[in-house]
Structure 1
């Protein structure tokens, strides 16, 4: 199952205004904002969703034609670890080893790889250890 998906934006303020207007009628709102300081990388991230759960992300201040991000939900942390190892063995490039990402929430355990086309693919487990 897809957990969340993200797109890059060249102008985060313009995208914030657009998605607030476009997604509002669908009952989807901004539920989380991640600062560059929280991420440890440039650019903010805006998480849109329902009931406090972001499932559509906009990554800000990126060049036009940037990456796509897709995250798959997995049942346990071992599956996250196995995904990362298999993806690297298949030629993927590491974009974040398996581990906790507490800036999302306390039990967020994920791993990230770039696929052969540079898209950011993630496996994530939300369950406690």
Structure 2
């Protein structure tokens, strides 16, 4: 039986990532269903659902963190899309990543910018094909 945390998490995940987030959770079901549930409940049900920061502000913080990690390109790509979904502009995404060069180094920022470039191209292609 889903908990309130789980339901809040599902709503936040859907708001930020749409169907892409559901796909990630589904991919984990056969190997680590408890981990998939924890991802929905903790970061999305508890943290992303808190008052105090807007969804856009939370995505900016997440982009900064993933950029500085420098080793999570899949997650960074998903959160760049999430940032766009909650109102960040492409320029804001690029600026956040560039700012991280001062803290994580140029290689981390370059890698993150290349992830953003790839995602932006995919969005543009999907938009052209939909129209």
> TM-score interval w.r.t. the shorter chain?
under 0.3
TM-score with structure 1 length normalisation? 0.28
TM-score with structure 2 length normalisation? 0.28
Which one has the bigger helix percentage? Answer: 2
Which one has the bigger strand percentage? Answer: 1
